Structure 1
Amino acid sequence: MKYVDEFRDGELARQLADAINNEVNSDRQYRLMEFCGGHTHAIFRYGLPDLLPSNIKLIHGPGCPVCVLPIARLDMAMALAKQPDVILCTYGDMLRVPGSGRTSLLKIRAEGNDVRMVYSPADTIALAQQNPDKQVVFFAIGFETTTPPTAVVIEQASRLGLQNLTVFCNHVLTPAAMHGILHTEEGEQGVELDGFIGPAHVSTVIGSQPYEPFPKQYGKPVVIAGFEPLDVLQAILMLVKQLNEGRCVVENQFTRAVTATGNEKAKRITDQVLELRDSFEWRGLGFVPSSALQIREQYREFDAEVRFAERLKAHAEQIKLVPKDVKACECPQILRGVKNPRDCKLFDKPCTPDNPLGSCMVSSEGACAAYYQYGRALEA
């Protein structure tokens, strides 16, 4: 197939659904986690649960970069935005995520602070050049998909000698999050899984090889899938066949875009500029070792956490910054797959996309936003 409408063909979808129904064993459950929020939205947008047998349970994972950022890191970004000489830049979804006290970058901007939405990190280069009297800070978030552009900007800033551009780096790693999902501490509520629908965009960068430990170490098969409805259905069929046959390997359904080794050029620039953090906090998963990236020593002058260290410390002490989520919000449990959005008492009353009380309702990849946008029609 060459055209996008072919991947949304209703007749082909029914044929795949029939194949899945014929393949499943009625005496067992198939608990499959779609790690990526893009898959969650595709599943609900195209009504895929209605095509699947009842013993296939799709569990939503922490693959939404906006959702997994802990409130403490967002509060740090807002502290930077309040500095009189700072222009803070970030992606659109981050503007509305609630921080401590239900404030947000959007509200900070309404108070007169200079917070700007950018479509690409490269926009910050021109912004820094046009505003030499300002400190331009890029609030960088995202999984491996958005990491190489951030690395490119840092490398360009170094070559251009831009002394007024820094990056507040919050890039996180998909395989580490998958380990965090499967590894729970004693007394912590975990989620039972039989396999993963692997992310698409991330895998175009890192390839399929980084998922190989999951079949070997945990006995969980992984099938990398594209974002179209037929991609997801085919990936589910591939997982069901693996589980029925007792196989446990990494398979690649998204062969038109994903290779074993991924994008070597993107990985090379990322490795040149960024390095592993020892540990990083995730919303819902807590502190996960080796799960995020930081700016290497040779580029440390472009690290906002280094340049503004004293100001961030003074600001935290001044306002006694204590990160506080809305107590009733179930985002942490939803991100671990332990609960779904309808288990949250705030869902739809009063938490909505227009009045988000948690990060999962804000992002275009959040599970709560998917349930809200498409769930009612499915129920009706």
Structure 2
Amino acid sequence: MASIGFIVNPIAGMGGRVGLKGTDGVLEEALKLGAEPVAPQRVSIFLGKLDSIIKSRGIKERIEWLTCKGSMGEDLLKEVVSDSWESMAVFEPNDEPTRAEDTKNACKTFLEKKVSLIVFCGGDGTARDIWQTVGEEVPVIGIPSGVKMHSGVFGMNPEATAEIVAEFISGEMDVAEGEILDLDEEKYRQGEWHIRLFGTARTPHEPTYVQVSKVQVEAVGEEAIKEEIAETIVEDMEDAPDTLFILGSGSTVAAVSKELDIEYSLLGVDAVVNKELVAEDVNESKLLSLLDQYPKVRLVISPIGAQGFILGRGNLQLSPEVIKRIGIDNITVISPPAKLAQTPVLRVDTGDKELDESFYEKQYLRVVFRYKTMRLCKIGK
């Protein structure tokens, strides 16, 4: 029987859709803005897929989940009953909401119980808390559920994480090093990009299923190329009067705002109509309100370097409902050539399986990479 530690950060990702760019230290504010838990759904998808894989492939190895009481694991495991595993709570957090110390103490218990793997649901902050306790002693793999996930220890999505765990318990998955990265959320909310490498963890690794760490890509003439791309988008705006242009996060998209000479939130989502800023750093609720007001809409986004994610990482304001209202055909992806060269495929992880499948069925998206110049880029499943 495979003994696996299982830990859930119940508040992971809650700040995303309400535009807080994280939940660390702002849980009360997130709740006031109407934030709802993200982790339970992600865990449910992971467990359902894992159970299906184990049964369909006839995997004989059963799992013994060693987990935490309450919302840190036990409650969610009880909701997905399977004869493929059994579970036991070996740690109890002091109080709700749970804290980083609870995660660290739970991992100490997992080490004492000599687990062979730790599966967690959360974001980069949770990954960092676990790494600070276990180091490279035990492999770890994450079900992505945070707002920011730049570390190389996450599955591409909950289903991919299930594939990883199934192959790991079957002895078919190699273990490699994954970088533990985290962004300073307070500086992030102020529009500053301060990311730090904390160390490396051991993680089950298969490139199809495990995301790589975020890569910052800059090449000679990069700013000039961004300006060319921005000119293309601005000309599109001139050709589409009264159209709502939703501008995603990152320096590539920020070049569009600079070309327009308007205020912008480097790490947030802004809205522009007729080349004028109508809303800055918006959350999901504001976006839905704007979509009610403007029937014609375009979304401009850029992939995360190397990872390739255009949705589901750092822009949770662009929720499944928002994307459905916009429509896949109204999405424009922009990226300088240097970043594209490091990004073999585009990826989505919206949290809505049917919506993700709609992207997969499309297979390719057009990417603007120079002035009025596009190429087709594959959407990776």
Please indicate, yes or no, whether the TM-score normalized by the shorter chain is above 0.5.
no
Q: Give the structure, 1 or 2, with the largest relative contact order (CA under 8 Å, sep 6 or more).
A: 1
Query: TM-score scaled by structure 2?
Result: 0.30
Structure 1 or 2: larger strand share? 2
Identify, as 1 or 2, the structure richer in helix: 1
